[in-house]
Amino acid sequence: MSGPDRRSRLLQLAAGAAFLALAAVLVLIVITAAGSGDGGDTEIEGRAAVAKLLDGIPQRQMTLGDPAAPVELIEFGDLQCPVCAAYSEDVLPEIMETQVRKGTVKIDFRNLTIIGPESVGAGAAALAAGEQGRGWSFVDIFYRNQGDENSGYADDDAFLRAIAKAAGVRNLAKWDAERAEMTAQVEETSQEAANLGFDGTPSFAIKGPQTGGIKLLGFPESAGELEDAIEEAG
Amino acid sequence: MSRPSEGTLQRAIAFLAALGIGVAAYIAIADANSGSPVCLGGGSGCETVARSSWSHLGGVNIAVFGVVAYALLLATAFFADDLARFAGFVLALGGFGYSVFLTYVELFKIEAVCQWCLASAVLMTILFGLCAARLIVFAGAPEASPERA
């Protein structure tokens, strides 16, 4: 093939490739915008806010904060509970900023299912996310996307998968396989809460050098009350 | 204005591809260490993007694919024949198209911007321009002796 012919052929191929690439990008964007890409997380809200809130704070299983923090705040919550959701947005962020980031306290989330059986599947999914260091991200994003209690959303596979994706769970296959195994743990912590006398969510307990074991806080209504309890425990 | 020689374009492509390898490798290494790239200006954009499920394809961090693409682009800069010109164009076109898509995802799906991803997108955009110019201007030209890039 002569030089000019080869040049003409190459430029034709290049134009065709450019057209295909443009079409491919447009199709990808349209599919993604429609939310039918790979799990449909388009309706999940609050991921950026949660990422900002938890940015730089260690997450290990369901514990948020420095594992060596002297004080441990234990929250018993139900992912379907609207009061827990409000608490996680209105009260806990202050504790995270003033206490958790400093390494003086860590917060442990434990499931206490009181709203209904769907909370068990949701709680197990959160625990499985915790196995990949995204437990608190899962819980906080779940709270921001709550639906009506026991309406079928809370243990819906597609919804939970979308929350897991938004939380940054990397190995969704592993998460999916492990969440079924976590049901027993959800029931164990619910029983633990009942043994402590808790029958509502959120309920808090605290452990620290000054508490001499676990101390029940119940439902501290403000960040100030929680801060006082943390100070006394430390 | 005089037209740049193919050698000049090759050197520019090699330089930018090497930069791209550095950027993509940094993101990939940060991910492999279970962390995320650090945004130089502060903020959580880099961690948010790195933690999103969009950052992985088939369990592999997309920055790894970026390293491979930049390395191949670098390789094309060392040859001055039509195969290298066309291969460079196709690689840069693919990289540019995917960068456009990822930037869309960052802005409208993840709602966070990672400076390192943006830097890579800018590099890939410039590389696409250079590779397209190289192909358009020099396609069909006699094969030159190998250039030092």
The one-letter amino acid at B24: A
> Chain A contact for B48, CB < 8 A?
yes
What digits encode the pLDDT tens for the residues A131-142?
Answer: 999 999 999 999
Is the Cβ pair B97, A22 closer than 8 Å?
yes
pLDDT band per the 50, 70, 90 thresholds, residue A3: low
> Would you say the ipTM is above 0.90?
no
Crossing angle of the two packed helices A118-130 and A172-179, in degrees rounded to 10: 130
Q: Please tell me the pTM assigned to this model.
A: 0.61
d(CA A57, nearest CA chain B) in Å = 12
Cβ <8 Å between B97 and A24: yes
- Cβ-Cβ contacts under 8 Å between A and B: the total is 93
* Mutation site, A47, A54, A160, interface B, largest B CB count within 10 A: A47
Residues in chain A within 8 Å Cβ distance of B101? 25, 28-29, 32
Of B55, B74, B77, nearest in space to B9 by CA: B77
DSSP state of B144: P
A102 touches chain B (CB under 8 A): no
Residue A189: burial class (beta carbons within 10 Å; 0-12, 13-18, 19+): buried
Distance CA A132, CA B56 (A): 15
Residue B110, chain A, CB below 8 Å: the answer is yes
For B110, which residue in chain A has the nearest alpha carbon? A48
> How far apart, in Å, are the Cα atoms of A74 and each of A53, A160, A217, B137?
19, 24, 9, 67
Asked if A174 reaches chain B (Cβ–Cβ under 8 Å), the answer is: no
Helices vs. strands in chain A: H and E counts, helices first = 10, 6
A51:B59 CB<8 A: no
- Contact criterion met (CB < 8 Å) for B82 and A10: yes
* A88 — pLDDT class (breaks 50, 70, 90): very high
Of A7, A133, A168, the CB nearest to B139: A7
In Å, how far from its chain's centre is CA A19? 41
Lowest mean pLDDT across A185-189, A196-200, A204-208, B30-34: B30-34
Decide if A11 and B100 are in contact by the 8 Å CB cutoff. no
In percent, the amount of chain A with pLDDT more than 70 equals 95
Contacts of A33 in chain B (CB under 8 A): 108
DSSP string spanning A102-138?
TTSEEEEEEE---S-THHHHHHHHHHHHHTTT-HHHH
Contact A48 B56 (CB under 8 A): no
B48 vs B51: CA distance, rounded Å: 5
Measured between CA atoms, how close is A197 to chain B, in angstroms? 38
pLDDT digits 0-9 by tens, A13-55:
999 999 999 999 999 888 887 764 444 444 788 888 898 888 8
Average pLDDT, chain A: 89
C-alpha span between B61 and B59 (Å, rounded)? 7
Rounded Cα–Cα distance for residues A159 and A152 (Å): 10
Neighbours of B111 (CB within 10 A): 18
Q: Could you tell me which of B91, B77, B101, B74 has the C-alpha nearest to residue B128?
A: B91
Q: What is the pLDDT of residues A143-166, one digit of tens each?
A: 999 999 989 899 998 899 999 988
C-beta of residue A216 within 8 angstroms of C-beta of residue A157: no
Determine whether the interchain pair A29/B104 forms a contact, defined as Cβ–Cβ distance below 8 Å: yes
Q: Looking at beta carbons, which residues of chain A come within 8 Å of B96?
A: 21
Instruction: Report the pLDDT averaged over residues A77-81.
Output: 95
Residue labelled with tokens 């704070």: A57
